[in-house]
Amino acid sequence: MYNRLPVLKKVKNKILATSIISLTLFTTLSILINQNLLVLDQFDLQVTLILQKVIPRSFDTLLSFLSLIGTFEIITILLVLALTKIKTLKNKLIVLGLYAVGSALELLQKIELIHPNPPSNFFRNNLRFFLKI
């Protein structure tokens, strides 16, 4: 019988490496922009305009749904559901610990780095699920 464990380990390593690289790039760019060390305002605007033109409106519902899935509340519900499937207490604690560390890092980054909202004409979310506070 074919042993899939080495293949799964390679896939997990690639996903982890991609995640670390993405986090590093995002954090580095955010810090550089926040410190005004790069003049990327026009670049950011141009990329956004190009993406708005290239991505058809037919994708708005799918992308809105993906945005909704990525909210803290939905991810927390999925975490609780996943924890019911995990058998050992050790693995549950590992998952909870990783979730807590990830949430803390995200919160610290959101507190430290100021990211103003884009102009309202860039919002294409067509789900009316989000609450206005």
pLDDT at residue 67 is higher than 90:
no
**What residues does each domain of the chain span?**
57-133
- What was the pLDDT predicted at 99? 93
Give the predicted TM-score (pTM) of the model: 0.58
Dihedral over Cα of 29, 35, 37, 41: its sign: positive
For the stretch 111-122, pLDDT in tens is: 877 767 777 777
Alpha helices in the chain (DSSP H): 5-34, 41-54, 60-69, 72-85, 89-112
41 within 8 A of 116, measured Cβ to Cβ: no
pLDDT at residue 59 is higher than 60:
yes
Q: For residues 68 and 53, give the distance between their C-alpha atoms in angstroms, rounded to a whole number.
A: 22
> The tokens 């956004």 sit on which residue?
48
Average pLDDT over residues 51-57: 90
Q: For residues 130 and 104, give the distance between their C-alpha atoms in angstroms, rounded to a whole number.
A: 23
Among residues of the chain, what percentage have pLDDT more than 70?
87
Task: Find all residues with CB under 8 Å of 96, minimum gap 6, and list them.
Answer: 79, 83
Torsion of the alpha carbons at 105, 74, 18 and 4, rounded to the nearest 10: 130
